[in-house]
Copies of this chain bind each other. A is one copy, B any other.
Amino acid sequence: MKHSAILLVACPDRKGEVASIADFVYRHNGNILHADEHADEESGLFLMRVEFDPKDFALDLADFGKHFAPVAENFQMKWRLAQSSQRPRMIIFVSKYDHCLIDLLYRHQSGELACDIPLIISNHPDNQPLADFYKIPYAVVAITKDNKNQAEERIQALITEHTADVIVLARYMQILSNNFVNRYPQRIINIHHSFLPAFVGARPYHQAFERGVKLIGATSHYVTEVLDDGPIIEQDVVRVSHRDTVEDLIRRGRDLEKVVLSRAVRLHIESRVLVYGNKTVVF
């Protein structure tokens, strides 16, 4: 993969943002590899993602902010600069179901996911061998009704110790406290095994079976305080029929969950997802 720098911008929509940003990159000898933007009419918000080749860039990227400040201030931009050379750190949470975990680990190893995985956290020891095979540290933090707070503190300490840019809940079957969730806004990615907003909550495949739907889905979203309600990053569905038992739905859903979660993770890692309101722009 080529080295690239990615500028993410959000600001009130008015004339001249594209020109100002493009001009800034060009003036400092950056080559725009790809640019995409979106103006949300309802909120009057302008969102942009500019990927440029920093090879001949005249500025030290560490000083980018200092030089970009006048443009940013002029347009009241909130912005962030990502660099493909700085791989984000992703901590994976998992319980017993291993299909999403194995999928993420394989994609990581094969180079599809350009991130580092400093740690896997689980409330069960079951997936330790898998972590060992891929040589990723694996910490077990058992959770009971009585130790919930301490467990979260322990998890919190582990995250602080290993540092994480993003937390991925790969079928982690514990509900995180609001306190925890609020520490990582737009940085916790979950996979829910239904086509949200249908079948919120527990046992969505059973709910789908009961309702007799002809398609089942999976949804990857950022975690917010409201259960299964955060901004959706990616969704997909697969056709089912009356022949499919609940067990068939679960089996077929696993394939959906894997690809939907891994797509969402990849989009996040490549800085392609911008949140506005309770929605996402996926560039």
| A contact residues vs B (CB 8 Å cutoff) | 15-16, 18-20, 22-23, 25-27, 29-41, 98-99, 102, 106, 110, 112, 129, 133, 195-199, 211-215, 217, 231-237, 241-243, 245, 251, 255, 259, 277-282
Contacts and interface: CB of A to CB of B under 8 A. Distances in A.
Residue of A18, A26, A29, A110 most packed against chain B (CB within 10 A): A18
A18 B41 contact: no
Given A25-B19, A281-B242, A251 B198 contact: no
B232 A212 contact: yes
A214 B34 CA distance: 20
B106 A102 contact: yes
A237 B212 contact: no
Contacts of A241: 282
Contacts of A99: 106, 110
Indicate how many identical chains form the complex: 4
A280 B242 contact: yes
Contacts of A214: 232-235, 282
Interface class of chain A by DSSP: mixed
A246 to B, nearest CB: 10
A279 B232 contact: no
Contacts of A281: 242
Given A19-B23, A214-B234, A242-B279, 16 more contacts: A18-B26, A18-B35, A19-B25, A19-B32, A20-B26, A22-B22, A23-B23, A38-B242, A197-B199, A198-B198, A211-B232, A211-B279, A214-B232, A215-B217, A237-B237, A241-B282
13 contacts: A15-B31, A18-B32, A19-B19, A19-B26, A20-B26, A112-B251, A195-B237, A197-B213, A198-B198, A214-B233, A214-B235, A215-B217, A242-B281
A282 B242 contact: yes
User: What 5 A-B pairs have minimum CB-CB distances, sorted nearest first?
Assistant: A212-B279, A19-B26, A19-B22, A198-B198, A214-B235
A23 B35 CA distance: 15
Nearest to A21: B22
A215 B242 contact: no
A129 B132 CA distance: 12
A278 to B, nearest CB: 6
A167 to B, nearest CB: 21
Given A19-B19, A197-B198, A280-B212, A255 B259 contact: yes
